[in-house]
Amino acid sequence: MVMNAPRHHDVVIVGGGNAGISLAAKLQRMGCRDVAVVEPKKTHHYRPLLSFVGGGMATLDDLTRPQERCIPDGAHWYAEEATAIDPGRSVVTLAGGRELHYNDVAVCPGSRIDWDAVTGAEEAVNTPTAATNYLPDMAEKTWAMLSSLTSGRAVFVISDRHVPCAPVGLKPLFMAADHWRRTGVLGDVDIELLVEADRLVNHDEADRELRAAADRYGVRVRTRATVEAIFAVSRTMRVRTPEGTDDLTYDALYLAPPHRAPDWIADSDLSTEDSGAFVAVDPRTLRHERFPRVWSLGDVATVDTLPSGGALRKQVPVVAHNIAAQRAGRNLRHYDGYSVAPVTTSRRELLLAEFDRDGRPEPSVSTPDLARPRRSTFLFDRYLEPQIYWHRLLKGNVS
């Protein structure tokens, strides 16, 4: 037997996260019999629950499943990293050296934290007074840090540089503020929110609701605020706003940090100067700008909207249909840039901001108005949505 002999698959999917597994299952439902998934991780995380771990309302166990239970039956799983894609030869190279030939390839290895983007950020999160729940390993520490604070300054920082579903970075803030209110220390905690974007979420009504909630907890909100550097030893950060630059001290620091594409994507032919190291697809068809048998979706693709799991509910069927349509010479479907940000405003209520690529509201139901905080929406997001994820979305039940 030849180890690492080249193999051929009809469709190779690089990355078995939300996008990759849902797409593999959807393709199988549509009759594709030879799908391979390249995914090195042995466990699969339902990442939206990480925000609830950061807010002390879920555990890591609640969001973790063995990967082998997520890979669809009948799909071939390569449990290693892809290191390169050669669109000219239609080949994916794996870390162990094996080459996988494909008819079509879907590229969805997600994005990762860009620690280099903020001087001192990585050093800071390795101290007890700073944390992020954008890494599963640190999510529990986030709540340990926030819940043990009884006075002083808590600073929450939300970058807008490719952060997956960035407004959900506000969830731990509101869950912590409500905790401080309930435990009677809210008046002793000075809460600062630094948001790099010019608003909290790309949806007028939801933005108003979130600002009103912040007001109720006495949060000082600054938008267009970029953290340039963090000095862990002195627990200080340098913040740039349109008004100038100032230094801010903290007793607890929460980061929704900048993200970037994996380096091997940035170094490949799949990205262009304009795509900023992400995979350069037509944001409507999700087909590569230059290589028609290359598709991309999820956090690594230039989808020209807020990257989110909710957005994948629309992207996955578009890619699956377009692969089939292109083969049959039919017209390709278009993705309208739908995305969604579910944000808690307390430990009881949550609102849902849903919008299209142009920022126009795109509610999934006409009534009730989900952009207002509700108990029912909170319960849906915390308890029902994870079940929908495991039992429907990862099973390709999207249309």
Q: Which residues pair with 264 in a beta bridge?
A: none
Interacting residue with ligand FAD among 12, 27, 72, 134 (CB under 6 A): 134
Whole-number Å distance between alpha carbons of 310 and 293: 25
- Looking at the Cβ atoms of 230 and 341, the one nearer to ligand FAD is 341
- For residue 109, state whether it binds ligand FAD (rule: CB under 6 A): yes
Peptide bond into 368 cis (omega under 30): yes
Closest distance between ligand FAD and the C-beta of residue 218, in Å? 25
**What are residue 166's phi and psi, to 5 degrees?**
-45, -45
**CA-wise closest residue to 364 among 336, 325, 397:** 336
Q: Which stretch binds ligand FAD (CB under 6 A): 162-170, 230-238, 268-276, 281-289?
A: 162-170
- Looking at the Cβ atoms of 81 and 207, the one nearer to ligand FAD is 81
Whole-number Å distance between alpha carbons of 211 and 389: 30
Residues in contact with ligand FAD, shown as a per-residue x/- string from 195 to 234 under the rule CB under 6 A: ----------------------------------------
- For residue 178, state whether it binds ligand FAD (rule: CB under 6 A): no
**What are residue 287's phi and psi, to 5 degrees?**
-95, 145
Q: Which helix (H) or strand (E) holds 158?
A: strand 152-158
- For residue 140, state whether it binds ligand FAD (rule: CB under 6 A): no
- For residue 40, state whether it binds ligand FAD (rule: CB under 6 A): yes
- Return the amino acid letter for 345: T
- For residue 271, state whether it binds ligand FAD (rule: CB under 6 A): no
Q: Which helix (H) or strand (E) holds 38?
A: strand 35-38
- For residue 172, state whether it binds ligand FAD (rule: CB under 6 A): no
Q: 365 Cβ partners below 8 Å, 6+ apart? A: none
**CA-wise closest residue to 155 among 193, 187, 188:** 193
- For residue 108, state whether it binds ligand FAD (rule: CB under 6 A): yes
Q: Which stretch binds ligand FAD (CB under 6 A): 69-77, 119-127, 202-210, 293-301?
A: 293-301
Do the beta carbons of residue 295 and residue 302 sit within 8 Å?
no
- Looking at the Cβ atoms of 120 and 307, the one nearer to ligand FAD is 307
Interacting residue with ligand FAD among 120, 307, 317, 396 (CB under 6 A): 307
Q: Which stretch binds ligand FAD (CB under 6 A): 32-40, 143-151, 178-186, 284-292?
A: 32-40
- Count the site residues for ligand FAD by CB under 6 A: 36
- For residue 81, state whether it binds ligand FAD (rule: CB under 6 A): yes
- For residue 41, state whether it binds ligand FAD (rule: CB under 6 A): yes
- Looking at the Cβ atoms of 308 and 322, the one nearer to ligand FAD is 308
Do the beta carbons of residue 50 and residue 164 sit within 8 Å?
no
Do the beta carbons of residue 146 and residue 252 sit within 8 Å?
yes
- Looking at the Cβ atoms of 81 and 235, the one nearer to ligand FAD is 81
Whole-number Å distance between alpha carbons of 54 and 44: 18
How many C-beta atoms surround the C-beta of residue 301 within 10 A? 29
Which residue has the closest beta carbon to ligand FAD?
Answer: 17
Positions 237 through 266 that interact with ligand FAD (CB under 6 A): 262
Positions 335 through 394 that interact with ligand FAD (CB under 6 A): 340, 342
Closest distance between ligand FAD and the C-beta of residue 262, in Å? 5
- Looking at the Cβ atoms of 155 and 300, the one nearer to ligand FAD is 300
Interacting residue with ligand FAD among 93, 133, 268, 346 (CB under 6 A): 133
- For residue 170, state whether it binds ligand FAD (rule: CB under 6 A): no
- For residue 72, state whether it binds ligand FAD (rule: CB under 6 A): no
- Return the amino acid letter for 344: T
Interacting residue with ligand FAD among 9, 11, 12, 14 (CB under 6 A): 14
Tokens of 125: 């999160």
The C-alpha R_g of the chain, in whole angstroms, comes to 21
Closest distance between ligand FAD and the C-beta of residue 112, in Å? 8
Q: Computed from CA positions of residues 398, 393, 108, 101, in that sequence, does the dihedral angle turn out positive or negative? A: negative
Q: 148 Cβ partners below 8 Å, 6+ apart? A: none
Do the beta carbons of residue 160 and residue 283 sit within 8 Å?
no
Within 307-387, strands assigned E span 339-344, 350-355
Q: What is the binding site for ligand FAD (CB under 6 A)?
A: 14-20, 38-41, 47-48, 50-51, 81-82, 108-110, 133-134, 164-165, 168, 262, 298-300, 307-310, 312, 340, 342
